[in-house]
Amino acid sequence: MKTIVSKRVQQLQPSGIRAFFDLVLGMKDVISLGVGEPDFVTPWNIREAGIYSLEQGFTSYTSNKGLYKLRLGIARFLKNKYNLGYSPDEEILITVGASEGMDLSLRALINPGDKVLVPTPGYVSYGPLAELAGGVPIYIDTKKDNFKLTTKTLSKFVSKKPKALILNYPNNPTGVSYTKRELGQINKFLLKHRIICISDEIYGDLTYDFEHTLFASLPGARSNTVYVDGFSKSYAMTGWRVGFVCGPKEIIAAMTKIHQYTIMCVPITSQMAASEALVTGRRAVAQMKREYRRRREFVVDGLNRLGLETALPEGAFYVFPCIKNTGMRALEFAEKLLKEEKVAVVPGGAFGKGFDDYLRISYASSFENLKEALKRIEEFLK
């Protein structure tokens, strides 16, 4: 069939579980553990700052890079928390969520045919964004190392001469994160083989068992890393669409060039609110984190009790249980669970090839919901 759609877009793989998503969206009274965003509402101080900015008449464009106040706030925050200095003038760009940051990173760095290493299971957009940028994603299955990327695995891909690695930790969908030591090894490897790290640390604030380490803070990493982050997850600000990227001047300048033609700037209301988040939002972040951690323990314990092998994830708000011993594949499991018990989860296959024995369960849901959902899953498995 002839089509007017570009070849590049035609070649993009559609999501294999779109039909399942439609099924979920069409059903009522579902307990959904399939949601990739916090169940908290943005803390009031932050919302109020957005409202106030509107009252004051802040309705214009901002500079392409974003409000200076916000960039400065981010620079100071990173300096205080991680002792990592970025210049608000030249090394920070405010983006429409971390999603745009990821897109811009790839478009700014990738030449046609450049290889991009994408560990799986991973967030759904990395591969397609690499392709849209003209690159070739090379997927790396991390299953055998408990979903952790190791230098041993990486070394198998050196011969393909990849230009960049997309690292995401804590990881969506597994919740797996890395200690400073583990990151140090990856960093040394990347520096040695001249592979740039695009580090998506959107869940960094939600690390439960050890301190989160910024990849760019590792020895020698700063000039080799594009650090992608945002306000969505830690401050429960998904709908505001504010993210940021920090990196070497040259790369940020290139990204800003694309950003100014495509986006112009992030909505000013959102930037004003985000700026407030850095000042008064930290207490709420700590509170939400404690709450997530409690839910995590509860859900992991519950799933393991039900015989669904679940590793303790170090961060984010996902668990990635293995359902192999139920004899069902993930999509079948998810469909049946939805129809019979009205609980929605995401089949692992959505996050890469070879994960049809896994489910992503989000615990960004109230404790009552989680308890009820576990009960229903138990009923379902009987």
Partner 1 sequence: MDEILEILEKDARASVEDIAKMLKKKPQSIKQAIKKFEKEGVILKYKTVVNKELIRDTNSEVRALIEVNITPQKNVGFDKIAERIYSFPEVASCYLLSGTYDLLLIVEGKDLHTVAQFVAEKLAPLENVRGTATHFLLKKYKEDGVILKHKDEFKRIAISY
Q: Which residues bind partner 1 (CB under 8 A)?
A: 21, 24-25, 27, 30, 32, 34-37, 39, 41, 123-125, 172, 290, 294-295, 297-298, 301-302, 344, 346, 350, 367, 371
| 11 or 287: CB nearest partner 1 | 287
Angle formed by the axes of helices 282-305 and 268-280, nearest 10°: 80
| 145 or 301: CB nearest partner 1 | 301
| 34 or 248: CB nearest partner 1 | 34
Residue with tokens 């998506």: 200
| 280 or 366: CB nearest partner 1 | 366
The residue type found at 17 is I
Distance in Å, CB of 167 to partner 1, minimum: 18
Distance in Å, CB of 68 to partner 1, minimum: 32
Buried-exposed string 167-196: b where 16+ CB fall within 10 A, e elsewhere: bbbbbbbbbbbbeeebbbbbbebbbeeebb
29 burial class (0-12, 13-18, 19+ CB within 10 angstroms)? exposed
Distance in Å, CB of 41 to partner 1, minimum: 8
Distance in Å, CB of 359 to partner 1, minimum: 12
| 2 or 28: CB nearest partner 1 | 28
- Tokens describing residue 337: 């669970």
Distance in Å, CB of 36 to partner 1, minimum: 5
Other CB atoms within a 10 A radius of the CB of residue 73 amount to: 19
- Tokens describing residue 226: 């594009």
Is there a contact between 276 and 46 (Cβ–Cβ < 8 Å)?
Answer: yes
